[in-house]
Amino acid sequence: MTESGRIGVKAVSTVIAAVIVLTIFLGLASAIYAGIFQLGNESGNLVKREAERAMEAFFQIYWLNETHVVLFNNHSSVPIKLLYWVRVNPDSGSYTVYNLFNSLDPAKYTVKPSGMKIVDIRTEVPTRNRDSVDRVVSERGSILRGGRCPQPAIPTLHAG
């Protein structure tokens, strides 16, 4: 091979090596960028979820009678989905977790903003026990109390 031929081969192999190095570099850079983007996205989703969870604090659940509960979502701008109903018996130390998402109607325990529902809870949770303490867990992790109907802020005045 002539001197010029040798130089030509060397130049081609240098170009090929440069292309390989560049490809590896671009691959690494894009993987790192994708990782950072995904992490940022995940972090944003968690902050959004936490803000929505804070809005669930005003959600109310209370027994209307022995079989029906009121789900009242009048003070938030997010729909609320209830997942679990937890009943504790303080006397025995036993607890029972009832799955609300096993309901035949998947939307039964989801309440839209400014919405109110009266649901017959008997198919998912046994009827109210006067001594039991009930907690309800929403999909976003709010822990709500399933209790008695709230009292009015201003006491009712009776004439006479």
Residues in region 66-125 near another protein by CB under 8 A: 83-84, 86, 88, 90, 92-93, 95, 97
Interacting residue with another protein among 113, 143, 149, 150 (CB under 8 A): 143
Q: Show Cβ contacts of residue 141 under 8 Å, excluding neighbours closer than 6 positions.
A: 53
Of 117 and 140, nearer to another protein (C-beta) is: 140
Q: Which of residues 8-37 bind another protein (CB under 8 A)?
A: none
Distance spanning both ends of the chain, measured CA to CA = 121
Which of 27, 113, 141, 150 binds another protein (CB under 8 A)? It is 141
Distance CA 73, CA 123 (A): 22
Nearer to another protein, 24 or 54 (CB): 54
**Parallel, antiparallel, or unpaired: how do β-strands 60-63 and 143-147 relate?**
parallel
Please give the size of the binding site for another protein, defined by CB under 8 A: 21
Residue 57: DSSP 8-state: G
Q: Which pair of tokens denotes residue 50?
A: 């936490």
Q: Is 46 a binder of another protein (CB under 8 A)?
A: yes
Helices (H), the chain: 3-55
Task: Between 8 and 40, name the residue whose CB sits nearer to another protein.
Answer: 40
**What is the smallest separation between the CB atom of 47 and another protein, expressed in angstroms?**
10
Between the alpha carbon of residue 115 and those of residues 54, 60, 67, 73, the distances in Å are 18, 11, 20, 5
Q: Which amino acid is at 69?
A: V
Q: What residues make contact with another protein under the rule CB under 8 A? A: 39, 42-43, 46, 53, 83-84, 86, 88, 90, 92-93, 95, 97, 133, 135, 137, 139-141, 143
